[in-house]
Chain A
Amino acid sequence: MRPPTGDYPLRLEDEHIPMVRFQNVTKRYGDLVVLDSLDLDVEEGEMVTIIGPSGSGKTTVLRMLMALEMIDDGVIYLEGEPMTHMVKNGTLIRADKKYLRRQRLNIGMCFQHFNLFPHMTALENCIEAPIQVLGLSKTEAVERARDLLDMVGLLEKSDEHPSRLSGGQKQRVAIARSLAMRPKVMLFDEVTSALDPEVIGEVTQVIRKLVDKHNLTMLMVTHQMGFAREISDRVCFFYDGKIEEQGAPEQLFENPERERTQQFLSAVLEAT
């Protein structure tokens, strides 16, 4: 439980506060450094896509932000408030579980393997946390969930259990489930990687809708370069736990400056 080394503000008080800030974030698994002093800001309403070879730390970025695992160094801020830490007696200390639970309310996450609750129907998946965590009445929660299931085009599957849904449908329910918590930030962790090619479109369609119609801040890890390019405000290329290069999609995909980015992109394009 050591405090972060270096100087970190108790909260961000600049004129302009990013929605998410990674400041000097390091994550290790044993000797392996997965994230190496990462600095990254994500602005409100921005869609940032993370690409890179496997093992480059892409997914770790999202998992650290959601605090599914603890970072080893640095601080992550959410809307200017520390996320991984909390203020006590004028210093930053490791966030306790209660604080994390409260902060996580601002973030929604969709997983590669959906992680829907198999013993609950699509609708039950979507009302569970709003009722149990947010304290919504069942009527309110159901109404909210039905709107969202409608938005992802699955209203008629409300009463099906996940085992009856296709991969694409499961992922759309998972998106609805996350949105039902009204998060400010949405994280998409390789949400199409486990899907059959023919259903990827129905999921990307939903994400596209979110980008167009809602002012959500989004972070997405993906292997789909075409989709990343079309939808992102900014693309970050990760290599070895660091951002090797970042920029607007046109710039990064058409005129990558770094050699590693060029190699990665040409290798990926070769494969498709």
Chain B
Amino acid sequence: MTFIEFLKTYGPQLANGSVTTVMQTLLAAGLAILIALIAGLMRLSHSRLIYGAATVYIEVFRGTSLLVQLYWIFFVLPLFGLSLEKFTAGFIAVGMNLGAYGAELVRGGILSVPKGQWEAATALSMSPAKMMRRIIFPQAFLNMLPPWGNLLIELLKGTALVALISVADLMFVARKINGVTYLSAQAFGTALIIYYLMSRGLITPFMRWLEGVMTRKLGKA
């Protein structure tokens, strides 16, 4: 079987798997961004309780493996009465894990805004909420974009693990094809290339574009 034949035969399956991977990535990214914003802001709180809660969350999710978290959410949570469908369990695990890493980026991004900006806003009597929303966050956002690009690639890679709880993503399809054909180089190799194209062909250019837009918008160009 030539590689062309291989693609002709298994292309549709691989395409389906890729769509699932993209869906997992988008949903997990949405969740990760939400969690990162909340936990990141909580980490800047003066309240010990709020700060502590966010710290525990971040340390637990960064201190253990994504795979362990995924299995725990899928196999153990049902024992607590919370059964998640495998597709849902997949992106929730990935989103919660990467959200913990993202929280530190949010915190770091906000702290990277120079002290003078906070002081100038204070001197203008701005309320903390307005200060954060109108002065600090727009600047923090731009600072955060490059590391978020890397984080989203990690997130895409992380979604490959959902195959292990039988979500039919790209990784899952590649394994299935390998099991049927024993054409390992073709099956796994093609999947690797598709992941690479998603990372460097979609995520990286998108983040660059976003950075360019924000830079122009913030007048730094």
Contact = CB atoms under 8 A, between A and B. Distances in A.
Complex contact flag A–B (Cβ < 8 Å) = yes
Interface of B: 114, 116-117, 119-128, 130, 134-135, 138-139, 142, 217-220
Most buried by B among A68, A114, A177: A68
Given A104-B123, A105-B125, A118 B116 contact: no
Nearest to A97: B128
Question: What bracket does the count of chain A residues touching chain B fall in?
Answer: 20 to 34
A101 B131 CA distance: 12
Contact of A109 (B117, B123, B142, B218): B123
A171 to B, nearest CB: 13
Please name the 5 residue pairs, one residue from A and one from B, whose CB atoms are nearest each other, closest first. Answer: A161-B219, A115-B120, A115-B116, A129-B124, A119-B218
A116 interface: yes
A25 interface: no
Contacts of A108: 123
A195 B127 CA distance: 31
29 contacts: A101-B125, A102-B125, A104-B122, A104-B123, A109-B120, A111-B116, A115-B114, A115-B116, A115-B117, A115-B119, A117-B117, A117-B120, A118-B139, A118-B219, A119-B139, A119-B217, A119-B219, A128-B124, A128-B135, A129-B125, A132-B126, A132-B130, A133-B125, A161-B220, A163-B219, A163-B220, A164-B219, A178-B123, A178-B124
Contact of A128 (B128, B134, B217): B134
Contacts of A161: 218-220
A121 interface: yes
A111 B130 contact: no
Contacts of B124: 104, 128-129, 133, 177-178, 181
A129 B123 CA distance: 10
A66 interface: yes
A120 interface: yes
A177 B130 CA distance: 17
Nearest to A111: B116
A60 B128 CA distance: 23
